[in-house]
Structure 1
Amino acid sequence: MSRPLGLALGWALDRAIGDPRRWHPVAGFGSVAATVEERTYAARRAHGVAHVALLVGATAGLGVVAERATRRHRVAHMLVTAAATWTVLGGHSLSREASTIDGQLRRGDLDAARTQVRNLVGRETSGLDADEIARACIESLAENTSDAVVAPLLWGGLLGVPGLLGYRAVNTLDAMVGHRSDRYLEFGWAAARLDDVANWGPARVAAALAAASSGSRTGVAHAWSAIRRDAPAHPSPNGGVVEAAFAGVLGVRLGGSNTYEGRSEDRGTLGTGPAATTHDIAPAARLAHQVSVGSLGVAVLVAGGGALRGRGRPRRRR
């Protein structure tokens, strides 16, 4: 049972202390990926496939080595799993950013909030008003709770350390090269598609957990209605599902038009309530935390089930 315990300990570490301020392993991976890109880049999908395969394969391979090296030592395996879990989770940082933005908006410091929200979103923020900043923050809380908490926990529960590290490599590469700029339209195709595949299941688990966290039949009904009706119009096959669920549970309207590098993009309308305002950030942060707790429970059950199946296998006679 060292994997479930390691996942729980790593989650607790993330909630308690968050990411290290310096020498973060994910930042180190990003630096390595940027260096590798200098050699692998070409405006072709085949080069992007090779880039992703090399980096994700190497990172997951490190996880395999760590698993094998500690498999027979329960305490060591638990600690390695905990360290990997803490490294790849981003729940604490997400909550901290949302709390900071909430405080800035309540004080009326729009300039600070416009700058702060850039840590969460890629859209242009210089012209956003208070409610638009709040909407951006809530949408990021929803999508990143799925990407930075639910998904790594579920992959960790299913595959252990290789799943944790491999998923974080996929998600980081998508953030680096998976967008539709002129440079990365072809090269980043593989990273974007692999991230979509890796997050398909976790996004729907996150949406289900959000609906369940509403605590009422009405909240559940609104969440599922928003998912069925509104999520298909969202450009992300996964982000739209989670954002729609949050919109339904919170009783607000998310989505709309965003500007990216001077280009306007309609991301659909999610939910039928009033437009989100600054007062909705705190409830959204609480909902994100509830989803985080629920996803830990699911991951522990998945990991524990795998451990029990492993124990049930007949041993070979020697």
Structure 2
Amino acid sequence: MSLLSLIAVFLIEQLQPLHYRRIVAEPLSAWADFIESRLNAGEYRHGVIAWCVAALLPVLLLAGLYAFLYSLNPLLGWALNVGALYLTMGFRQFSHHYTEIQLALRLGDLPRARALLSEWQGRSAEGLGSQDIARLSIEQALAASHRHVFAVLLWFVLLPGPCGAVLYRISAVVYERWRTRDAAEQNNFSAFSRHIFGMIDWLPLRVTASAFAIVGDFEDAVYCWRTQADQWPDRDLGIVLASGAGALGVQLGMPLVDGVEVTDRAALGLGDPADVDFMQSAVGLVWRATVLWMVLLFLLGLASLVG
């Protein structure tokens, strides 16, 4: 059922792309802000209660709905799975910006490429050269493929029905929203959401990095993972980026020069500097990892049928 749900979501996404920000991100962000505004008293225990209300309660309600629909007809449960996957995962969440940036770089239109990257990242890209734009775009795409495809898919497989996919998506949104507010208010409210999301994302990060290594340059991917991930500011995400860079044979990270300011960033990967051709190679890496997932799901389904 997992493989059929995944195939159905990919087909629906191609026919009717989801406006993720308007339909998913903004409502979930509003929900997280609402819970935070009612329960944030600045202490750790308040963060525990708030996370349970914001993330765990919707998942439990969804689990009950799935069990009810499945008891009526398994096809109803499958339809709920497809709907939940369609809302929580998908390539369209990042492929549009990535493709447009790639096209702009091929045409030599640096101003448009900078504008597209700024819109995607949510921060200025003024003064960046073509290699910087390609490097940042590949990093963003590798991270987004983990957050919007592979991590969601793994939790969808691990928990019954749509519970895993929804748990990951809500937990990620809650973590991002509350972390931003706590940085400004300097309290301990978001500590639990940070800890629990770190636990939820621990296995998916390593599965994504392993998939990149298997379908790319395995030796370099593992070497970069072991030696470079700790140097990235976000060590967890550094695992995915270092493995992806090594699998591609491209240099990611490294300092960025924006006008007179220099942003210090650790070096990731081995090989040649990033360019528009490596952007296409990154697309191939993500798709090969996706095919690997589908093959594994097929084999798991076949094993369950034989059993």
Matched residue SS, 2:149: helix
Using structure 2 for the length normalisation, give the TM-score: 0.86
Render the CA deviation track for 1:137-167: whole Å, top value 9, x for unaligned: 1011111111110011111111121111111
CA 1:21–1:7: 2 relative to 1, 3 Å: closer
Match of 2:27 in 1: 28
Query: After the TM superposition, which residues 106-255 of structure 1 pair with which residues of structure 2 at under 5 Å, given as runs?
Result: 106-121=106-121, 124-159=124-159, 160-179=161-180, 181-183=183-185, 186-214=188-216, 219-255=217-253
The offset of 1:104, in angstroms, is 1.8
Matched residue SS, 2:266: strand
Q: Give me the whole-angstrom Cα distance separating, in 2, the residues matched to 1:193 and 1:265.
A: 28
8 Å Cα contact 2:254-2:267 kept in structure 1: yes
Match of 2:40 in 1: 41
Render the CA deviation track for 1:164-186: whole Å, top value 9, x for unaligned: 11111011122323357333663
Q: Give me the whole-angstrom Cα distance separating, in 1, the residues matched to 2:32 and 2:302.
A: 34
Q: Give me the whole-angstrom Cα distance separating, in 2, the residues matched to 1:56 and 1:136.
A: 31
CA 1:258–1:50: 2 relative to 1, 3 Å: farther
8 Å Cα contact 2:36-2:178 kept in structure 1: no
% identical aligned pairs: 25
CA 1:88–1:22: 2 relative to 1, 3 Å: closer
Aligned-partner residue type, residue 194 of structure 2 = A
Matched residue SS, 1:24: helix
Render the CA deviation track for 1:210-262: whole Å, top value 9, x for unaligned: 12212xxxx11111111111112122232111111111121111112469xxx
8 Å Cα contact 2:35-2:53 kept in structure 1: no
CA 1:301–1:157: 2 relative to 1, 3 Å: farther
**More displaced, 106-115 or 70-79?**
106-115
The offset of 1:292, in angstroms, is 2.5
CA 1:93–1:254: 2 relative to 1, 3 Å: same
Query: After the TM superposition, which residues 271-282 of structure 1 pair with which residues of structure 2 at under 5 Å, given as runs?
Result: 271-282=269-280
**More displaced, 153-162 or 265-274?**
265-274
Matched residue SS, 2:96: helix
The offset of 1:266, in angstroms, is 4.3
**More displaced, 198-207 or 118-127?**
118-127
Counterpart check, 1:10 vs 2:9 = yes
CA 1:115–1:238: 2 relative to 1, 3 Å: same
CA 1:44–1:107: 2 relative to 1, 3 Å: farther
Q: Give me the whole-angstrom Cα distance separating, in 2, the residues matched to 1:21 and 1:147.
A: 13
**More displaced, 18-27 or 4-13?**
18-27
CA 1:108–1:289: 2 relative to 1, 3 Å: same
Q: Which runs of 5+ in 1 are unaligned?
A: 313-318
Query: After the TM superposition, which residues 92-103 of structure 1 pair with which residues of structure 2 at under 5 Å, given as runs?
Result: 92-103=92-103
Aligned-partner residue type, residue 23 of structure 2 = H
8 Å Cα contact 1:177-1:184 kept in structure 2: no
Match of 1:71 in 2: 70
Aligned-partner residue type, residue 152 of structure 1 = V
Q: Give me the whole-angstrom Cα distance separating, in 2, the residues matched to 1:228 and 1:22.
A: 34
Q: Give me the whole-angstrom Cα distance separating, in 2, the residues matched to 1:254 and 1:242.
A: 12
Render the CA deviation track for 1:250-278: whole Å, top value 9, x for unaligned: 1111112469xxx9864421112232123
Q: Give me the whole-angstrom Cα distance separating, in 2, the residues matched to 1:11 and 1:304.
A: 21
CA 1:119–1:70: 2 relative to 1, 3 Å: farther
Render the CA deviation track for 1:293-317: whole Å, top value 9, x for unaligned: 3234445656777x669xx8xxxxx
**More displaced, 195-204 or 32-41?**
32-41
Q: Give me the whole-angstrom Cα distance separating, in 2, the residues matched to 1:185 and 1:299.
A: 43
8 Å Cα contact 1:66-1:161 kept in structure 2: no
Q: Give me the whole-angstrom Cα distance separating, in 2, the residues matched to 1:38 and 1:258.
A: 37
Counterpart check, 1:80 vs 2:76 = no
Q: Give me the whole-angstrom Cα distance separating, in 1, the residues matched to 2:118 and 2:185.
A: 22
Match of 2:89 in 1: 89
The offset of 1:47, in angstroms, is 3.1
